[in-house]
Structure 1
Amino acid sequence: MLLFYRALLLWGLILLPYTLFAQNATPEQNSAKVDTIFESIHLDRQLFETSTEMQSFISQNPFGLSAAQNKKMLELYKKAFTKQFLLSDAHDKFHKNINSQYADSTLQWLDQEHTQIVLSAEENYYTLQGIRKRVVHRYEIEKDPPSQHRTFLIKSLGQKMEVKDIQLESKTILFRALVKAFNELNQQRSFSDAQLEGIVTNYQSQIKANMEQEVQTQLLLTYYEIDDHNLRTFASFYDTESGSWLNATKSASIYYAYQKAADRFLESVRSL
């Protein structure tokens, strides 16, 4: 028995350096992991889509500002929400939330064939060809609606990836910044903080009502050519601790980047 414990101790000492190495990755190694994951999950697409959508919203002059004021507001928004700023801030936050163990598991998942297939569909969704395909696929979905099983699978995937929650919070951050900017530029009336928050809450309620269906349609179009097996296997990752970490880190990075941009935007408006 004594020999057994000695052998066990020796084996533990042999494995210890490798275990410590795995747990204590160098900053350079962690940085490389962040870069790979950040680029692989197409976080840039998500950042630009919502900020560009809000840019189009401003161009319609929803607050009834003078043409000159609204033009200036749009210019300041564009400067604050440049791609370079958004990517840099999101990347910084992603790096601060790095967990080497979860990052390693995520990298292994990213390297799997089914993950590559699904992520490729996500990337193609935003390309010129993908935009053209959306029109065709939307028509085909309306003509021949997906089965209940397919719809449930898509809905489940969206919930696991927290797509609706991320979109809702992202749009809320941006809209709150726009309302505050309008309050700074509005010469006829000034709203209190409570009134401003009431406007934001009302906006949330309005977009939330239709968002679930919009997200479901978006995902049906995004994954139109992906079979159920690949989607199920892809989705199962989000049931793991590493999947939860990726979700939390992704959403935190998006919110941080938007809030930093919103702060820059408001600061520039107040400096007028």
Structure 2
Amino acid sequence: MQLHHVTTVPAPTDEVWRALGEIEDLAPCLPGAAVDHVDRADHDTVYGSMTVKVGPITVAYRGRAVVDERDDAHHRMLVHASGREQRGAGTAQATLVVAVHEQSPGTTELDVDTDLTITGRPAQFGRGVMADIGDRVIAEFADRLSAQLASATAAPAAVPATEEAPAATTEAKVAAEVEADATVENEAEPAPPPKLGSDEALDLGPILLPVVRRAALLAAFALALAIAERQLRRAIARRRR
């Protein structure tokens, strides 16, 4: 099954490409994924799991991904991934060609070509649903990657050094220190940064719902045709009598 997905990331191309090489930091950006460990000595082999929920079906895969090629000059990498269902006989294998291109200054296009082979329960959904799932995964990945890059670059502004003020009396210094301590205590603590994702299952039920509706409409249409055909045959049979 050949799939193609394109999305944009509001960050410079070099930053996006650099982030794609940090597997441990990148894992939270992929919805439903969790990294167990990375073997740098074996072609950057990543061992982990991914969980996807489609309606009532939850599929958890465990396997590995291998970065076989990485072209820093052209911002392109080749990845082979394989996994097996933790509770079932289904398997998934994918060859991904990931490339990034500058779309405009400060904006990067993320291009992913996937050759996917899948068996088991998810295989029943067909290419159309799998393409929609891929779009959802890539789009959410791009959003989380954008948030991660923005958080990394939002360093607090450095406070410029100031010349020391003329010496004051000891009483004035003590009073100023007490007042500063009270101000710090009264200030609210800064809010923690938002989480960039976890290994919770990616719920793809909303993607499946339109497909189920179309299938229901087709079934109803086929049933109506069958009933009309039966009635027509009965009418013809009565006329012949």
Q: What TM-score results when the alignment is normalised by the length of structure 1?
A: 0.22
Greater relative contact order structure (CA < 8 Å, 6+ sep)? 1
Bigger proportion of residues as helix: 1
Bigger proportion of residues as strand: 2
